[in-house]
Amino acid sequence: MTKHSDSTAHHGQENSALKRRNTATSVRKNRTGGFPFAIAAPSFVIPANAADNSRFLADHFDEVGILFFETEACLRYTDEDLPAELAHLPISWHVHLPLDLPWERGLDIVWDKLLCLMEKVAFLKPHSFVLHPPGQAGLLKSLATRLRQTGIDPACLLLENVEETDLAACWEEAREAGYSTCLDLGHILAYDQHHVLELDELWETVKMLHIYAPVPGSGKHTGLGHLDATGQGLLRDMLAAFKGETVVLEVFNEKEIFQSLQLIQEWMTQWSEEA
């Protein structure tokens, strides 16, 4: 997510990414391609910008999620961060919208920032956008109206269960407005949000899963190898119910994301044999 200002540093990061690409070849060979969904990685796994991460990850994953975590910093992204050539990578894309959208300043300001960010990635043709829902009632419905007026189906926006809202409080509004859902395994475990799984028609709306092992009390994401038996059981149940398109290994560490990729393969094979 860091923008490089020095061409020498940028060249060094490119070399680093190429070197890493070679070291992970064995992991790619171990993939069977038998997943019933796309396996995605976030655009922050190696210490490089979004472009270098995407080039690296495209050799090993079906999809990359562009992380727009910080509104103002990501609005300043340039062609160095998101070059046109990324559109030629043989992968699909989605976008995680900022965590710090200024909802308290009103919908007009948030809307302008969202449109600018969406325009930055329009050339990648992302299939969906993950959004942390606002805490204020009514904003989701108003945002959906703006989206439709602009020709965007609100179903392309996936509301995620987060610490601030587990989706239960805004579920009726979200369903009426036509949004989809991104269900986060780590947040369910870390914040005891198991009741989210009982929401009416939940699995009809879930288009994406975020999977990783949470570190209680820190918000840190670690690899699937850190999931205990309870976490593994919940992951198995969620995957069994999932009818969507993308499962994101939301791990921001190169070693752990590749270990997680191998684990999810092994577990799904095991669970299939046990079924």
Q: How far apart are CA 49 and CA 55, in angstroms?
A: 10
Mean pLDDT of 34-54: 96
- What the block records as the tokens of 130 is 């993950």
Taking only the tens place, the pLDDT of each residue in 158-202 is 999 999 999 999 999 999 999 999 999 999 999 999 999 999 999
Mean pLDDT of 84-113: 97
Q: How far apart are CA 133 and CA 121, in angstroms?
A: 21
Block residue for tokens 């997943």: 35
Give the pLDDT confidence score for residue 216 in this predicted structure. 81
- Percent of the chain whose predicted confidence (pLDDT) is above 70: 88
pTM of the model: 0.88
Give the pLDDT confidence score for residue 33 in this predicted structure. 61
DSSP, residue by residue, 68-115: --SHHHHHT--TTTS-GGGGGSSSEEEEE--S---GGG-HHHHHHHHH
Q: Exposed, middle or buried: residue 106 (CB in 10 Å: 0-12, 13-18, 19+)?
A: exposed
Architecture of 7-274 per CATH?
Answer: Alpha-Beta Barrel (3.20)
Q: Are 183 and 159 in contact (CB under 8 A)?
A: no
Q: How far apart are CA 247 and CA 244, in angstroms?
A: 8
Cα Rg for the chain, rounded, in angstroms?
Answer: 18
Mean pLDDT of 82-103: 98
* 3-state secondary structure (DSSP) of residue 59: coil
- What the block records as the tokens of 238 is 């969620």
Give the pLDDT confidence score for residue 217 in this predicted structure. 74
Block residue for tokens 């610490």: 163
Phi, psi of 129 (to 5 degrees): -130, 125
Block residue for tokens 């922050």: 44
* Nearest alpha-carbon partner for 57 in 69, 70, 39: 39
